[in-house]
A and B are shown apart, each in its own frame.
Chain A
Amino acid sequence: MSSKTEQREPEHVQTLGHEEYDPIGTAILIGIYFLILVLLWIFMYFVEFLGNGPTVVGMALTVVGLA
């Protein structure tokens, strides 16, 4: 692109083009995020549908539907 996007980075040690770069770390982070979302959703299911009341009150066991 134009000179508007030219970079000068003092800590730049290597240049990675589109071909050499594989965002594996990003995939891991997003995977972790999804995992957290799924766990929270499962937790929400217990709170909302198996709990005794419409809000989170009472013992932990009643909230997760174990008692």
Chain B
Amino acid sequence: MRISKGALLVVVALLVPFVVEFRTALSWFGIKLTILESLALAGVLVIGLLLWAVWPENGNGGTGTADSS
């Protein structure tokens, strides 16, 4: 793990405002996402994040920060 499980959970939560606002922001440029498309985007982002988080770091693979306290 590259980040602790707690931090991962927090980053997932932080994605929510990002996706919600991203949809609004895109529409100023004439790109209108439907709700389903935004949900799909959110799904892709979460999966990407999870992959990044569990991917071993260069060299010392697997010895992530221990999830403590």
Interface string of B8-30 (1 = CB under 8 A from A): 00000000000000000001111
Min CB–CB distance A29 → chain B (angstroms): 14
Q: Which of A10, A11, A60, A64 contacts B27 (CB 8 A)?
A: A60
Give Cα A10 to B29, complex, Å: 50
Q: Which of B19-69 contact A (CB under 8 A)?
A: 27-30, 68-69
Q: Chain A: which residue is nearest B31 at the CB level?
A: A60
Interface residues on B, range: under 10
Interface residues of A (CB under 8 A from B): 10-11, 60, 63-64
Residues on the A chain within 8 Å of B68, using CB = 10-11
Q: Chain B: which residue is nearest A63 at the CB level?
A: B28
Residues on the A chain within 8 Å of B28, using CB = 60, 63-64
Give Cα A60 to B29, complex, Å: 7
Give Cα A11 to B68, complex, Å: 8
Chain A to chain B: the 10 pairs with minimum beta-carbon distance, closest first: A60-B28, A11-B68, A60-B30, A10-B69, A60-B27, A11-B69, A60-B29, A64-B28, A10-B68, A63-B28
Give Cα A63 to B68, complex, Å: 50
Residues on the A chain within 8 Å of B30, using CB = 60
Min CB–CB distance B28 → chain A (angstroms): 5
Give Cα A55 to B28, complex, Å: 15
